[in-house]
Chains A and B, each alone.
Chain A
Amino acid sequence: MRRQLRSRRAPAFPYGYRYRLDDQDEVNQNYLADEEEEAEEAQVLVVPDLEEEEEKEEEERSQGQPIGNAWWQKLQIMIEYLWDPERRISLAQTGLILFIYFFFYASLAAVITLCMYMLFLTISPYMPTFTERVKTPGVMIRPFAHSLNFNFNVSEPDTWQHYVISLNGFLQGYNDSLQEEMNVDCPPGQYFIQDGNEDEDKKACQFKRSFLKNCSGLEDPTFGYATGQPCILLKMNRIVGFRPELGDPVKVSCKVQRGDEDDIRSINYYPESASFDLRYYPYYGKLTHVNYTSPLVAMHFTDVVKNQAVPVQCQLKGKGIINDVISDHFVGRVIFTLNIET
C-alpha cells in the first residue's frame, strides 16, 4: 500500500528519488526484521522489475520539474514532516501506532475488568465458594505479642506488662456492658441458628468478659502475671458455617507437650466447662454477623513450674475436630512455652 503511495509521490519532487534507492535496499534487507512491512514487501517481491521502470520514469519526470521553486520547497518540508523518507516514519503513522496501542491496552483493560466483574458475580458476599481449606478450625491464643514463648519475670513488671495490656485491649470488646448492649443472651447448649435470607443481619450471642472469672482481669487486673499464675486465653478460629458435630461442644484440654506431666500441675479453665458453647455457632460471616464475638476459653496456670521452659500444648477435643496434623501446628491445637522466672 504504502509503496504505491510513495512511488506516486516520489516523482513529485526530485530529491525523493535519491533516497528511494537506499530506502528500497534497506527494505529488502530488513525483510525479516520488519514484520510491519510484510504486505509491502510481498509486492516488491512479486514485481521486482517494476522498480527499474519506475526509476527511469522518475528520472525523466524529475528533469522536467522546476527546481528551486519556493512553493515547492515549502511543500517538501511539509511532506517531509508528514513522511520522513529517511527514517521511514510519518507523523500520521506514529499517531496511528500510538492510537492502536491505546486501543489495544484499553480493550485489554476492558476485558480484564469484565472478567473481574464476572468473577464477583459468581462469588457470594455471604458465604465463601469453597471452605475446604479451613474446614477444621485453627487455634490461637491471647495475649499474642509476636511470639508464642511467654518469658517473664514475676518480680519485674516490665517483662509482663505488655501481656496485660494486650489482654486488656483484646477483652475490651467483651466488656459486659458492651455485650449486653449489642448482643442477645441466647439459650446455652444449642446452636443459635438464624434462618432467613442470606443478606439479613444476624444477631450475635453475648460472650461476657465476666465469664472468664479470674482471668477476666476484672478482679485481678494483672491476669495473674504478677503472681506467676498467668492467664492465657484460647480462641478458636472463626469459620463460616462451622458447627461442632453432633451437638457436643468443643472442649479444651492442655498438657505439657514434652517433658514432665507434672510441670503444670493444675490449670483452671474458665468457663469451667472448658468448652465453647454451641450457642456461638454457626458463624454467618463478617458482612451480616457484624457483632459476632468469638467465644473464649481462659486457662489459668496456677501452679506451673518456675524458672524453666514448660512447653504446653492445648488441644481442642470434640467430634470432627482434627488436632494432630503434622504439618500444621495450629489446627485444633496450639503450642506455647511458659518460662516464668521468679
Chain B
Amino acid sequence: MSRKTLEIYSVELDGTKDTKQTDQEDDKKYNDLDLKKSHQKEELKRELDLDDHKLTSEELEQKYGTNIITGLSSARAAEHLARDGPNTLSPPKQTPEIIKFLKQMVGGFSILLWIGAVLCWIAYGIQYVNDKSASLDSVYLGVVLALVVILTGIFAYYQEAKSTNIMASFSKMIPQEALVIRDSEKKVIPAEQLVVGDIVEIKGGDQIPADIRLLSSQGCKVDNSSLTGESEPQPRSAEFTHENPLETKNIGFYSTTCLEGTATGVVINTGDRTVIGRIASLASGVGSEKTPIATEIEHFVHIVAGVAVSVGLLFFIIAVSLKYQVLDSIIFLIGIIVANVPEGLLATVTVTLSLTAKRMAKKNCLVKNLEAVETLGSTSIICSDKTGTLTQNRMAVAHLWFDNQIFMADTSENQLNQAFDQSSGTWASLSKIIALCNRAEFRPGQENIPIMKKVVVGDASETALLKFSEVILGDVMEIRKRNRKVAEIPFNSTNKFQLSIHETEDPEDKHFLVVMKGAPERILERCSTIMINGQEQPLGKSNATAFHTAYMELGGLGERVLGFCHLYLPEDEFPESYPFDVDAMNFPTSNLCFVGLLSMIDPPRSTVPDAVAKCRSAGIKVIMVTGDHPITAKAVAKSVGVISASSETVEDIARRCSIAVEQVNKRDARAAVVTGMELKDMAPEQLDEILANYSEIVFARTSPQQKLIIVEGCQRQDAVVAVTGDGVNDSPALKKADIGIAMGIAGSDAAKNAADMVLLDDNFASIVTGVEEGRLIFDNLKKTIAYTLTKNIAELCPFLIYIIVGLPLPIGTITLLFIDLGTDIIPSIALAYEKAESDIMNRKPRHKKKDRLVNHQLAIYSYLHIGLMQALGAFLVYFTVYAQQGFWPTSLINLRVRWEKDELNDVEDSYGQEWTRYQRKYLEWTGYTAFFVGIMVQQIADLIIRKTRRNSIFQQGLFRNKVIWVGIASQIIIALILSYGLGSVTALSFTMLR
C-alpha cells in the first residue's frame, strides 16, 4: 500500500505539468478509483446528453448554423438571443420585497396584536352604536397596537434588508466580456449576449463565457476546480478524447478559467443550460433547512401565544360568567393578550442577531442570513473542506533529507524561522540546485512585499521552492543571474525530471553545472554517487536503503517528494563554447551525484490545529471531507488534529498488531478514513454507523454528490451540520447543511449564494470564533428572553386580579406597552453584549431537539419565581399608593364597579372622604405609574440577575458589560420622562409620583 502510494505521489507532484499522464497512471494503478470517478460522473451524465464533443467541426457548423471562419451573422445571433435568452444564470428566485414585508407584519406575535387591535375597534364600534359619546380609549389602544405591529414589522424588515444588502453588494460581479467572431469580424461583446453557435476566442486569464466546444487550441489549460473539485489544471485541445463530455478535452465549461494558452471554440450551451447552470439549479432545488434559532423562536412564540390566548379565553369566559358585559370582557381579553405578548422581544432578537453578525463580520465571518449566527453555535458536526480551509492552499517545503537525515522546515504562513542545520556542504549544493533548477519567477515590481506574499509566475511546486530558497538564500534572481543558464530541459511526463545547465558563479571556474530535480526514484536511477556532508561518495547499497526509507517516510506523510542531483561537467569535454542541445541531449544525464530529497505539502494553517482542538473540546466533531488522496488527507488530518495524535484507524491498529484489517475490533479505533469509493458501496445505515461510532472521520476522494450524502447522514444523527466549501459542486451540500459556510477568497459565486455565511479569510479558525459567538448569542438570547418573560406575570396579574377581586385596574394596557417597548428594550439588547460565561467552549453543543431556547425551567423560573415576586412587589407599590391616598387595600376589594361609574362622584374612601370620578381616575393613573415604576425597578434587579446563568455575578463582573448600565440608565430616564416629563398627557395615563 505504502509503496503504491509513494509512486502515485511522485507522479502527482510532477503531475502539474501534465495531467493526462497522471490520469493514465491513476487509471492503471487505481482501477477502483476510476470506477468511482466514472460512477460519479455518470450521475451528472444522466442529465447531460451532450454529444457535441463527438461531432466534427463540419457537423457542428451544420448543427448550429454557424461558420467557423466567419462566425454567426448579427441577425442570426439576435434571433438566437431572442430564442434562448441571455447567457446568464438565472438568479435564485427571490421573494418579492412586499411579501417579505408582509411576512414581517403577520409573523410571530403580530397576528395576536392585530387581533387585539381589531377587537379594540370592534368594541368601540359597539360602544359607539349604543352611546354616541363613548370614550375613545379603545380606539387609541387599537391604534397603538397597530402602530406597534407596524413599527416592529418595519424595523425587522429593515434589519433583514440591511443584512441582505451586504450580500447583494458582495455577489455583484464585474460584467464579463467575450471576444467573439461575428460577421467575419472579431468583436468584444458582453458575455451575456453570447448565443449558441457563436465562435469565441479565449486566452489565458479569461473566464470561459459559455459551454464551448473547442475547435483549435494552443497550449490551453483550464481550471475546472469549481466544477469537479480537481485542482490540477486540465489541458484542453480540439480532439475528442472521451465519451463523457465532462471527461473529454474538447469542451470548455462556463465559468471555469482558462489558465494559459489560447483556444477557439463554438458556443454549444448558454446560461442555465450550461453544465454549471444545471448544477446551480440543482442547488436551488435542494431545500434549505429551517435554522435552529428560527425553530426555537417559533417554539417560543407558540408557547407564549398559546399561554396568551388560553389565559385570555379562560378569563373571558370567567368574566362573562361573573356577569361582566361582553364588551368589558373583550377589553380584558385584549389586556391579557397585550400583557402576555412580549411585543418588543422579536425586535430585540433581530437587533441582537444583527449585533452579533456585525461582530462576526469584524472577525471575517460575513453572515448572510441573520439566523445563521446562532446556527453556528449549535453546530455539532463541521464537515470541513481540506484545501484552503484547513490548509493554506499553497505548496510549501515541509521536509528535507540530506546527509542521511530528515530535517524539518517551517511551514507556517510567514516561514521566517527556518531552523534546520544549514552548515553542511550538502546543503550548499542542494540549495544551489533548488535555486537554479527552477523556472518560476517573481512577478516584477514587488520589491517591498514580504516574500510569502509575492506573486509568482509558475506552478505550485516551483513557487514553493522559489520562495523557500528566497527565504534562505536571499535574492534568488541574483543567484540565477550569476549562474547563467545555458540550457534547460523543462519537466515532461516521460522523463519525469527537469534539468538545467548553468555556468558557475566563479568566473575562474569554467565548469558547467548540471542541476536536475524530479521524481526521486527516477533521479536516483541517474545517480552513481551521493553527497554526504559535502563529500561525494559512491552510491552504495546502504545509501540506497537510507534513501528509500526516507522517501517512504516522507511519502507516508502525504507529501510530494522531489529528488535533487547535480553534476559538474568536466572542463575539457565541455568547454565554454560547447553547444548544448537539449533535443540531442549531447551531455550526460546519468551518473550524477545525488544530493538530497525535499518534500512539500499544502501546509495546514497555523491557527487550525488550535481551532480544531477548540472545536473538539467544544464537543464539535470535525469531519474532513476532501477530494484529495486518503494518505494526504490523513496526514493533514493528523497534523491539524482532525485525527488526534493518540487515535488510530482500523488500518493503523492492524499494522501495529500485524493482523489483518478484518480481525481488528472496530470499536478499538476512534478514527476512520473513508474513501469515496467505499462510501459509494455503503448503505445509509452503514454510513450512519460510521458517523456514530467514530469520533474522528476523514472522507477522502469524495465527489460533491457524496458530500451531500455525508451531510444528510450527519443530519440523520440529529446533528446540526456546518459545511464548508468553495466550488460550484459544493453548493448543493452548502444548501443542504444547516449552515453552509463558503470561502470568501477561493469561493465561487454559486457557493457563496448557497451558503449562509462567508468566511472572508477562508480560515477555519474563523469558524471557531463563529461557534463561540453563536453559542454566546444563544446564551444571551436565553437571558434576554428570561428577562423579558419575567415581567409578563407582573403584567398579567393586574388583569386577573382586576377581574376576579375587583380592584381598580392596577396598570393600563398602554402603560404595559411602555414597559414592553420603552423601558425594557435597551436593557434586553444590552444583554446581547454580555460576555461569555467561562465554560462556553468547553461544553457540548446543544441538542437541537432537547435543549430548547425556552424550556420549562426557564419558564418556571421566569414566571413562577422571579415573575411572581415581581408581581407581588408591584402590587405592594400599588397598594401603598392607594393606601396613602386614602384607599386601604381592604376597601379596594370589589370597588371596581363603583370606581368606574362615571356618574358616581362621591365614592367614599377609608377615611370617609368622597372622590369624584376624575379624582379617582387620576389616582388610578398614579397607580398605573406606581405599578409601572415598581416593575421597572424590579426589572433593573432582574437585569442584574439575568447577567449570569451559571457564574456568580462577581465572577462575571458587575461592570464588565457597560451596555447593561446604559440600559439601566435608559430605563430610569424613560421612566422619569414618562412620569414627570409627560405627566400632563392624559392619553398616556401617567402621573407624577411623590
Decide if A and B are genuine partners. yes
Which of chain B's residues have a CB closer than 8 A to the CB of A292? 912
Closest A residue to B915 by beta carbon equals: A134
9 contacts between A and B (CB under 8 A): A26-B850, A29-B846, A33-B855, A115-B876, A119-B879, A128-B885, A131-B886, A138-B919, A146-B903
Is A108 at the interface (CB under 8 A from chain B)?
A: yes
**The residue from A126, A129, A133, A237 contacting B923, defined by CB atoms under 8 A apart:** A133
User: Distance in Å from the Cβ of A104 to the closest Cβ of chain B?
Assistant: 7
Is B843 at the interface (CB under 8 A from chain A)?
A: yes
Closest B residue to A290 by beta carbon equals: B912
Residues of A within 8 A of B (CB): 26, 28-36, 38, 41-42, 45, 104, 108, 112, 115-116, 119-120, 123, 126-131, 133-134, 137-140, 144, 146-148, 235, 237-240, 283, 285-287, 289, 292, 325, 327-331, 334
Does the CB pair A286–B876 fall under 8 Å? no
Does the CB pair B847–A30 fall under 8 Å? yes
Which of chain B's residues have a CB closer than 8 A to the CB of A138? 905-906, 914-916, 919
CA distance A25 to B868 in the complex (A): 35
Which of chain A's residues have a CB closer than 8 A to the CB of B918? 325, 327-331
Which of chain A's residues have a CB closer than 8 A to the CB of B851? 29-33
**The residue from B782, B888, B914 contacting A237, defined by CB atoms under 8 A apart:** B914
For window 855-883 of chain B, which residues contact chain A by CB distance below 8 Å? 855, 857, 861, 865, 868-869, 872, 876, 879-880, 883
Which of chain A's residues have a CB closer than 8 A to the CB of B917? 328, 330
User: Distance in Å from the Cβ of A9 to the closest Cβ of chain B?
Assistant: 25
Which of chain A's residues have a CB closer than 8 A to the CB of B842? 45
Q: A115-B876, A116-B876 are in contact. Are A286 and B843 (CB under 8 A)?
A: no
Does the CB pair B903–A128 fall under 8 Å? no
CA distance A104 to B868 in the complex (A): 11
CA distance A326 to B782 in the complex (A): 49
Does the CB pair A116–B879 fall under 8 Å? yes
Does the CB pair B884–A112 fall under 8 Å? no
Is B852 at the interface (CB under 8 A from chain A)?
A: yes
User: Distance in Å from the Cβ of B830 to the closest Cβ of chain A?
Assistant: 22
**The residue from B782, B850, B911, B923 contacting A240, defined by CB atoms under 8 A apart:** B911
CA distance A250 to B166 in the complex (A): 74
CA distance A123 to B872 in the complex (A): 20
CA distance A126 to B911 in the complex (A): 7
CA distance A292 to B926 in the complex (A): 30
Is B39 at the interface (CB under 8 A from chain A)?
A: no
Is B910 at the interface (CB under 8 A from chain A)?
A: yes
Which of chain A's residues have a CB closer than 8 A to the CB of B844? 28-29, 31
Does the CB pair A237–B906 fall under 8 Å? yes
Does the CB pair B913–A129 fall under 8 Å? no
User: Distance in Å from the Cβ of A87 to the closest Cβ of chain B?
Assistant: 15
Which of chain B's residues have a CB closer than 8 A to the CB of A285? 911-912
Which of chain B's residues have a CB closer than 8 A to the CB of A131? 885-886, 913
Does the CB pair B868–A239 fall under 8 Å? no
Closest A residue to B619 by beta carbon equals: A28
User: Distance in Å from the Cβ of A35 to the closest Cβ of chain B?
Assistant: 5
CA distance A195 to B865 in the complex (A): 51
Q: A45-B843, A235-B906 are in contact. Are A130 and B986 (CB under 8 A)?
A: no
Interface magnitude class on chain B? 35 or more
User: Distance in Å from the Cβ of B754 to the closest Cβ of chain A?
Assistant: 29
Does the CB pair B903–A147 fall under 8 Å? yes
CA distance A35 to B857 in the complex (A): 7
CA distance A116 to B917 in the complex (A): 27
Instruction: Point out which of B839, B885, B906, B918 has the most chain A C-beta atoms below 10 A from its C-beta.
Output: B906
Closest B residue to A137 by beta carbon equals: B914
Which of chain B's residues have a CB closer than 8 A to the CB of A30? 847, 850-851
Which of chain A's residues have a CB closer than 8 A to the CB of B903? 144, 146-148
**The residue from B846, B905, B994 contacting A140, defined by CB atoms under 8 A apart:** B905
Which of chain B's residues have a CB closer than 8 A to the CB of A42? 839
For window 246-262 of chain B, which residues contact chain A by CB distance below 8 Å? none
User: Distance in Å from the Cβ of B505 to the closest Cβ of chain A?
Assistant: 60
Which of chain A's residues have a CB closer than 8 A to the CB of B909? 128
Does the CB pair A134–B879 fall under 8 Å? no
Instruction: Point out which of B857, B909, B911 has the most chain A C-beta atoms below 10 A from its C-beta.
Output: B911
Which of chain B's residues have a CB closer than 8 A to the CB of A283? 912
Does the CB pair B906–A128 fall under 8 Å? no
Is B680 at the interface (CB under 8 A from chain A)?
A: no
Residues of B within 8 A of A (CB): 619, 778, 782, 839, 842-844, 846-847, 850-852, 855, 857, 861, 865, 868-869, 872, 876, 879-880, 883-886, 888-889, 903, 905-906, 908-919, 922-923, 926, 949-950, 986, 994
**The residue from A104, A112, A137 contacting B876, defined by CB atoms under 8 A apart:** A112
Does the CB pair B913–A134 fall under 8 Å? yes
Which of chain B's residues have a CB closer than 8 A to the CB of A38? 950
Q: A116-B876, A285-B911, A330-B917 are in contact. Are A33 and B843 (CB under 8 A)?
A: no
CA distance A240 to B926 in the complex (A): 21
User: Distance in Å from the Cβ of B315 to the closest Cβ of chain A?
Assistant: 23
CA distance A214 to B502 in the complex (A): 141
Which of chain A's residues have a CB closer than 8 A to the CB of B884? 123, 128-130
The 5 closest A-B pairs by CB, nearest first: A286-B912, A138-B916, A328-B918, A237-B914, A330-B916
Which of chain A's residues have a CB closer than 8 A to the CB of B912? 238, 240, 283, 285-287, 289, 292
CA distance A120 to B844 in the complex (A): 53
Does the CB pair B868–A108 fall under 8 Å? yes
Q: A28-B844, A32-B851 are in contact. Are A108 and B986 (CB under 8 A)?
A: no
Does the CB pair B857–A34 fall under 8 Å? yes
User: Distance in Å from the Cβ of A88 to the closest Cβ of chain B?
Assistant: 13
Does the CB pair B850–A238 fall under 8 Å? no
Closest A residue to B991 by beta carbon equals: A133
Does the CB pair B916–A328 fall under 8 Å? yes
Which of chain A's residues have a CB closer than 8 A to the CB of B994? 130
Contacts A29-B846, A126-B911, A334-B905 aside, 11 further interface pairs with beta carbons under 8 A come to A29-B847, A32-B843, A45-B843, A112-B876, A116-B879, A130-B885, A134-B886, A138-B905, A139-B905, A239-B914, A331-B916
Which of chain A's residues have a CB closer than 8 A to the CB of B923? 133
Which of chain A's residues have a CB closer than 8 A to the CB of B986? 327
CA distance A120 to B888 in the complex (A): 9
Which of chain A's residues have a CB closer than 8 A to the CB of B926? 133
User: Distance in Å from the Cβ of A338 to the closest Cβ of chain B?
Assistant: 16
Does the CB pair A133–B911 fall under 8 Å? no
User: Distance in Å from the Cβ of B85 to the closest Cβ of chain A?
Assistant: 51
Closest B residue to A285 by beta carbon equals: B911
CA distance A146 to B855 in the complex (A): 52
Closest A residue to B861 by beta carbon equals: A35
Closest B residue to A235 by beta carbon equals: B906
Closest A residue to B842 by beta carbon equals: A45
CA distance A30 to B883 in the complex (A): 49
User: Distance in Å from the Cβ of B135 to the closest Cβ of chain A?
Assistant: 13
User: Distance in Å from the Cβ of B778 to the closest Cβ of chain A?
Assistant: 8
Q: A31-B846, A148-B903 are in contact. Are A116 and B889 (CB under 8 A)?
A: yes
Closest B residue to A148 by beta carbon equals: B903
CA distance A139 to B919 in the complex (A): 12
Closest B residue to A149 by beta carbon equals: B903
CA distance A292 to B917 in the complex (A): 23
Q: A28-B844, A45-B842 are in contact. Are A238 and B885 (CB under 8 A)?
A: no
Instruction: Point out which of B852, B886, B994 has the most chain A C-beta atoms below 10 A from its C-beta.
Output: B886
Closest A residue to B847 by beta carbon equals: A29
CA distance A291 to B861 in the complex (A): 53
CA distance A28 to B380 in the complex (A): 13
CA distance A41 to B950 in the complex (A): 11
Does the CB pair B919–A133 fall under 8 Å? yes
Does the CB pair B885–A133 fall under 8 Å? yes
Which of chain A's residues have a CB closer than 8 A to the CB of B915? 133-134, 138, 237
Closest A residue to B872 by beta carbon equals: A112
Closest A residue to B876 by beta carbon equals: A115
User: Distance in Å from the Cβ of A265 to the closest Cβ of chain B?
Assistant: 27
CA distance A5 to B939 in the complex (A): 39
Which of chain B's residues have a CB closer than 8 A to the CB of A240? 886, 911-913
CA distance A108 to B916 in the complex (A): 37
CA distance A191 to B917 in the complex (A): 28
Does the CB pair B850–A33 fall under 8 Å? yes
